[in-house]
Amino acid sequence: MRKILTVSAFFALSVCLLPHTANADSASAVAGKMGNLPDGAAVYKHVCQSCHMPDGKGAEGAGAHFPALADNPKLQSAEYPASVILNGFGGMPWFAGMLNDQQVANVVNYIRTHFGNHYTDTLKPSDVADMRPHLTVEDE
């Protein structure tokens, strides 16, 4: 029997594999397309919910585990989800090259105030900038 990938499953797979397979030109093209995500809800909808689910309860199956964001005590510190978004963790890819500081702050603030989370202190884009990995290229 032939299986058909849904659009969201295909997108999730593409996003998960992108940082590992894309060259700099295609990564910057994706970053450009993500530039029009105006708030945390939009970033969550277009980037995060395909793995973490629309209700933030995560998913598990077929050897994959996508942690729940709903009622998650690890979100108490705004720096934790920001670090995971920027650097990746476990099976989650990094998004430092795709999301700008404002978008990371927006989505962190969104998940920390939705899905049963009630953390009201906000992460600022300047906080994200300080956390952002600084990659350097050595001269040959």
pLDDT value of residue 25: 47
Q: Domains, the chain, ranges and CATH?
A: 7-131 (1.10.760.10)
pLDDT value of residue 61: 84
CA distance 105 to 78: 9
Element (H, E) at 43: helix 40-43
Instruction: State the helix-helix crossing angle for 7-21 and 24-34, rounded to 10 degrees.
Output: 130
Q: Per-residue pLDDT for the chain (140 aa), expressed as one digit of tens each?
A: 333 333 344 344 444 444 443 444 444 555 555 668 989 999 999 999 999 999 999 998 888 889 999 999 999 999 999 999 999 998 899 999 999 999 999 999 999 999 999 999 999 999 999 998 765 455 44
pLDDT value of residue 70: 97
CA distance 126 to 57: 29
CA distance 24 to 9: 24
CA distance 102 to 124: 7
pTM recorded for the entire structure: 0.73
pLDDT value of residue 31: 53
CB contact at 8 A, 129 and 121: no
Sign of the Cα torsion 97, 99, 102, 106 reads negative
pLDDT value of residue 33: 57
CA distance 95 to 108: 13
pLDDT value of residue 21: 39
- Sequence-ordered list of residues with C-beta below 8 angstroms from that of 110, at least 6 positions apart, any chain: 39, 40, 41, 43, 44
pLDDT value of residue 74: 96
